[in-house]
Every structure is written in structure tokens, then in C-alpha cells.
Amino acid sequence: MIGWKFGKGRQLPRTAPQADAHEIGTPFPLLRTFLLLLLPVIIISSVGLVFTLNSAISASAEKLFAEQEIRLVQTMLLADGLFEGASPPSAPVLSELRKEMAETGLTCLLVLDQSGGRIAELANNADCGSLDTATFEGLTATGAATLKEDIVLPGHWTSLGVVALPRSGKIVSLAATRRSGVLESAISRLTGFWTKVFASLLFVSVLATGVVIAKAQRTLDRQASYVRGVHLRLQRFLSVSAVRNAINDETSATRFEAVVMFLDLRDFSSFAEGAPPSDVADLIDAFVTAVAGAVSRHDGEIDKIIGDGIMAFFEGEDADDHAVAAAAESIEACHSLARHPGVGLYRGEVIAAALGAGKRADFTILGRTVNLAARLCALSGENEITMSQDMAAKQRPDLEEVSRDVVRPRHHRREMSVVRFRLVNASHENPQIRTG
């Protein structure tokens, strides 16, 4: 017995988030999102960070050089015996300081007391201008230092600092001036080095992130392709409702109104006994393909295929019209086959439920409506459609009435009025054949 199922699908009441059939097997565009959205933000942020870091390193380097310069000058003064900062140094001390200034590249050296008075002023072939206590504003804490440009000589940077002389504890202000090119070159080298290090680390991090995301995208693509393939293979053998409910782990039963359609190939048993297996399989395949297309085009769903029989159902306000149209189209699509179907239609309440447990379960519709549709199918001859009288109220121009009967289906107490139709252009061969 063949147990294939497939079809369009149907919405059932659910309590959990459901998977969209169009999204199943579709990988998240992780790499595309990274390249189009995240990477530009990272690049723009990185450029801003590099400039900010460059400025921060430059400022830190200037402060560091200023502090080193002030410590150098303090060491020079103490080593050469500055008189506690209380009076100007002697001529030999000044001469020695000038030599050291020339060796260290200093252009000017100025020492002020707290009142702004000049304790010492030395210049190597330059006019050091004038500095007062206002220049040192903000440098109130001893050990503080800063670097300022062009306040003494054009093209020169001056390191300003406030220190305490260890012998007397006297607070003095120091100003050491040198050509800006020397400091700028040193600061530029330091700033450039650390900026390049940071930019390189950032570039390597972004590149590594991109490589990881690219690998993750390939993994997602492979897994999504596998899931998509499984989903498509499931759809070949299961109805979309069954696939959807299996994916979403939905097992609760539900009731709804539907028109159930049964189709069965007439005189199939005799054909199957005498034909090669390949011909039998080809006949079933062509039959299923023809009916599946007709049902799908008229908004129905095939619930199951059992041997040479097919059960489908239709929902909605226009379910009657869709079911009759699908039945007629199915008969017409099978006109070239070796065997032709008979069809039974019945409208009523059905129950959709997952049956079975463990490793094997089935999602299907069942109930009195399903049984009656199967009984009416058994009453139909080749190329005939049998339906209840209330469904036959609307006449179709491509159907002609064959008979009206009152029948009592097996295992049912009540009699029912049924009408048999056949396609106007359908062949009238073997009208007496009614069983598969």
C-alpha cells in the first residue's frame, strides 16, 4: 500500500510560533548583513577611533616630552649647583649650563620664582623674549608640565613646569625651549607607531571576523540546503499540513468544515494483475500528478494516497465550487490514462489529528464526512462524480446529470439523496464499472 501525502497546506489553530513554509531552508544572510550593514559601521567607527587615538597619543606624547624636559632641566640645575633657587647662579655655573644646553639642543632656559622674578635666564644665540607667571597658569601642582608652541621663539616649542628644589623646598617655575622640528619628529614617530599598531590590530580583527562570518555563512548555507532538501522531500510524500505540524511539533486535534473528495481508478485491479510493474507504477504516477495539479489549482489539499485512491479536502466559503471544479478537471486530465477515476464528494465536519506515537505518526483528517465521501466514490462509475443533493444545487455547464438516487451507505442509519454527474465531453465507455 502506497502512503504518499502532499498538497497545499491548511492553517490550524496553534499556540506556538509557526515556521513559514517560504522561510524553511532559507539561510539567514549573515555575510551579506555583515558586508552591507556592519562592516561600513565598523570602518567608519574605526576611522574615528584611529583619529581619536592619534590625537590622544599626540597629546600624551607632548605631555610626556614636556615632563621629561622639565626633569632634565631640574637635573641640570641641581647638578651644576644652582643656589637653592634663591639667587642667580655664578658665572662658572652659567657657563656650564650653556654647554649642557648646547649638548641637549636647548635654545633658551628660564627659571622664575613664585613672584615671577627671574632667578636665571640663559640663551644660546637667541632672544628668549619674556615670560611671566601668567604663562604658567594652571601649573600649580609641582611636577606638572605642559608643552606650548611659539610662545618664546617662532618655530620653537617650550616646556613649562613647576618643581620644588629638594635642598630648600623652594618652588620655582621652569621654561625650556628647543626647536619644534626635533620634538615634532619624535612625537610624530611615537604617534605614528602606536597608530599603526592599533590600526593593524583593528584591521586584523575585522578581517578575522569577516573570515569567521564567511565560514559561518557557508555552514548556514549547507545546513539550510539540507533542511530545504528534507522539506521538499517531505512535501513529496506528506501533505503540507503534516509537514508544517511535524516541523512545529503541533499535535493537537481540531475540527473544521470541509468538502472531502475521494477518487479511485475504476477496474484498476484487473489492470494491475496483467500489466508489468513499471506500467502500473507509471499509471499511478500519472494519476497522482494529474489529480495533485487539479487539487492545488483549486485551493485544495491532498491528504493521502492509498493504492489507486486519493483523498483530498477543500475549505472555505467556496469549498463546494472548488471541489467540483477540481473533480471535473481531474477526470479530464486523466482521459488519456489506461484507467479512469470515479469521484465522490461530501461536505461536513472533519477532525484533523496526529495519529500514532513514537517513531511513526500520521497527520490526517477523519470522521463521518470522510467515510461518506468514500462511500459516494464507490457509487461512481468511470468518469463520474457522485455528491450529496445539497451540493448538486449549483449546476455546471460541463456536467450532465446521470441519475438521482436515495441510498443508505453501509454502516450508516440514515438514507441520503445523491446525484451522479459525468463530464459532458467525457467518454461513455464502460459506464457500468464502479469499483476499483
How confident is the model over 64-74, as pLDDT tens digits? 888 888 888 87
- 50 with 193, same domain: the answer is yes
417 in Cβ contact with 376 (< 8 Å): no
Is 430 domain-assigned? no
- Does one domain contain both 119 and 98? yes
Whether the pLDDT of residue 217 is over 80: the answer is yes
Do 58 and 82 lie in one domain? The reply is yes
The confidence band for 232, taking pLDDT boundaries of 50, 70 and 90, is: low
Q: What is the pLDDT of residue 436?
A: 45
Span 112-129, average pLDDT: 74
Q: Are residues 201 and 333 located together in one domain of the fold?
A: no
Report yes or no on 336 lying in a domain: yes
Of the two residues 22 and 133, the one the predictor is more confident about is 133
Domain interval for residue 203: 17-238
SS3 for the chain is CCCCCCCCCCCCCCCCCCCCCCCCCCCCCHHHHHHHHHHHHHHHHHHHHHHHHHHHHHHHHHHHHHHHHHHHHHHHHHHCCCCCCCCCCCHHHHHHHHHHHHHHCEEEEEEECCCCCEEEEEECCCCCCCCCHHHHCCCCCCCCEEEEECCCCCCEEEEEEEEECCCCCCEEEEEEEEEHHHHHHHHHHHHHHHHHHHHHHHHHHHHHHHHHHHHHHHHHHHHHHHHHHHHHHHHHHCCHHHHHHHHCCCCCCEEEEEEEEEEEECCHHHHHHHCCHHHHHHHHHHHHHHHHHHHHHCCEEEEEEECCEEEEEECCCCHHHHHHHHHHHHHHHCCCCCCCEEEEEEEEEEEEEEEEECCEEEEEEECHHHHHHHHHHHHCCCCEEEEECCHHHCCCCCEEEEEEEEECCCCCCCCEEEEEEEECCCCCCCCCCCCC
Query: Do 162 and 277 have their domain in common?
Result: no
Our count of domains for the chain comes to: 2
CATH number, domain containing residue 387: 3.30.70.1230
Q: Is residue 312 part of a domain?
A: yes
Q: Give CA–CA dist 312/374, Å, rounded.
A: 11
pLDDT in tens, 53-63: 778 877 888 88
Same domain, 161 and 284: no
- For 418-427, write each residue's pLDDT tens digit: 999 988 776 5
Mean pLDDT of the chain: 78
Same domain, 60 and 205: yes
Least confident of 122-126, 211-215, 375-379, 399-403: 122-126
Same domain, 268 and 178: no
The verdict on residue 357 lying in a domain is yes
Residue 337 belongs to a domain: yes
| 185 and 137, same domain (yes or no) | yes
pLDDT for residue 241 is more than 70? no
For residues 96 and 210, membership in a common domain is answered with yes
193: pLDDT strictly greater than 90: no
Confidence (pLDDT) at 364 = 83
Task: Examine residue 214 and state whether it is found in any structural domain, yes or no.
Answer: yes
Domain boundary among 211, 238, 265: 238
Same structural domain, 199 and 227: yes
CA separation for the pair 221, 212 (Å, rounded)? 14
Q: For 248-257, 268-277, 302-311, 331-340, which range has the lowest pLDDT when averaged over its residues?
A: 248-257
In a domain, 385, yes or no: yes
Grade residue 17 by pLDDT with cuts at 50, 70 and 90. Answer: very low
Q: What is the share, in percent, of the chain residues with pLDDT greater than 90?
A: 22
